[in-house]
């Protein structure tokens, strides 16, 4: 299967209570299908500067913002694929560009700073090199993991709905192969739903949102982690 390396879409978030989730999911499955991976765990290792410049800029809600992360679908072995991702948001549109590497090649890149000669796409690899050249102190800051269920609409493969549960983080032992354990970011959160689409929602989906009282919410995993768990620690360290 050909790996998709470039994404362009709108991403809208909603928060569901645990009581809302199961009946809403059941209703969606009348029109959508769970993808081939079923419920799976995603690990995202976020890079930032010493002063957390990327996330601070993002919190100001600018028209343009970007993040860099390493994403793994499941806890990786040496042969597993991981993805080096630049995620940008411009005027409400999300652009995600990524390079796949084996986990062993990723570890070699961390040690040497050099990509394997076979890396593709070259343009995205060049963008990653430029990002690190412009931000010399860019390094892993936090690992965020969660359990995801993804659904797609048969009549529109670009319309997807994902449900994330048990959203957790850790700021130490930032090695993907060490597992997905961590502390819950927001224990009061039931399920985070993201709707990924470029055009208008199907009418039937809008009706489902209204029927089950599902409302939009602002919830960035990295932002919430920084605000709730990293911000105060950083201030204390700066004072010391």
163-219 confidence digits (pLDDT tens): 999 999 999 999 999 999 999 999 999 999 999 998 889 999 999 999 999 999 989
What letters, b where the CB count within 10 A reaches 16 and e where it falls short, cover 73-110?
eebbeeebebbbbbbebeeeeeebbbbbbbbebbbebe
49 φ/ψ angles, rounded to the nearest 5 degrees: -85, 175
Q: Is the previous residue joined to 121 through a cis bond, with omega within 30 degrees of 0?
A: yes
pLDDT of 235 strictly over 80: no
Contact 230, 75 (CB under 8 A): no
Helices 203-211/18-28 angle, 10° precision = 150
pLDDT of 236 strictly over 60: no
Delineate the domains of the chain, giving CATH numbers in brackets.
Answer: 8-228 (3.20.100.30)
Burial bucket for residue 1 (CB in 10 Å: 0-12, 13-18, 19+): exposed
CA dist 145 → 60, 156, 183 (Å): 24, 28, 10
pTM here is 0.92
Contacts of 26 (CB under 8 A, 6+ apart): none
Least confidently predicted of 8-12, 81-85, 121-125:
8-12
Kindly report, residue by residue over 13-44, the tens digit of the pLDDT: 999 998 999 999 999 999 999 998 889 999 99
In angstroms, the CA 52 to CA 236 distance is: 14
Q: Which helix (H) or strand (E) holds 230?
A: none
Kindly report, residue by residue over 86-105, the tens digit of the pLDDT: 999 998 889 899 999 999 99
In angstroms, the CA 16 to CA 24 distance is: 9
pLDDT of residue 238: 47
State the DSSP string of 132-144. HHH-TT-EEEEEE
Kindly report, residue by residue over 7-18, the tens digit of the pLDDT: 888 999 999 998
């Amino acid at each position: 299967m050909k790996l998709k390396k470039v994404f362009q879409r709108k991403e809208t978030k909603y928060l569901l209570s645990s009581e809302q989730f199961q009946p809403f999911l059941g209703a969606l499955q009348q029109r959508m299908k769970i993808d081939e991976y079923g419920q799976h765990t995603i690990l995202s290792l976020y890079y930032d500067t010493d002063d957390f410049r990327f996330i601070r800029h993002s919190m100001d809600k600018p028209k343009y913002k970007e993040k860099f992360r390493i994403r793994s679908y499941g806890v990786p072995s040496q042969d597993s694929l991981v993805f080096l991702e630049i995620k940008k948001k411009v005027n409400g549109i999300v652009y995600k560009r990524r390079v796949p590497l084996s986990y062993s090649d990723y570890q070699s890149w961390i040690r040497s700073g050099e990509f394997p000669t076979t890396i593709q796409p070259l343009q995205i690899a060049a963008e990653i090199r430029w990002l690190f050249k412009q931000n010399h102190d860019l390094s892993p800051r936090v690992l965020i993991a969660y359990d995801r269920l993804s659904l797609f609409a048969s009549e529109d493969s670009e319309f997807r709905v994902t449900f994330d549960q048990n959203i957790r983080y850790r700021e130490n032992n930032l090695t993907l192969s060490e597992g997905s354990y961590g502390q819950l970011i927001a224990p009061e959160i039931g399920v985070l739903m993201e709707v990924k689409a470029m055009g208008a929602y199907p009418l039937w989906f809008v009706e489902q949102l209204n029927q089950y009282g599902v409302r939009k919410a602002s919830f960035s995993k990295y932002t919430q982690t920084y605000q709730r768990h990293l911000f105060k620690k950083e201030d204390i360290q700066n004072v010391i």
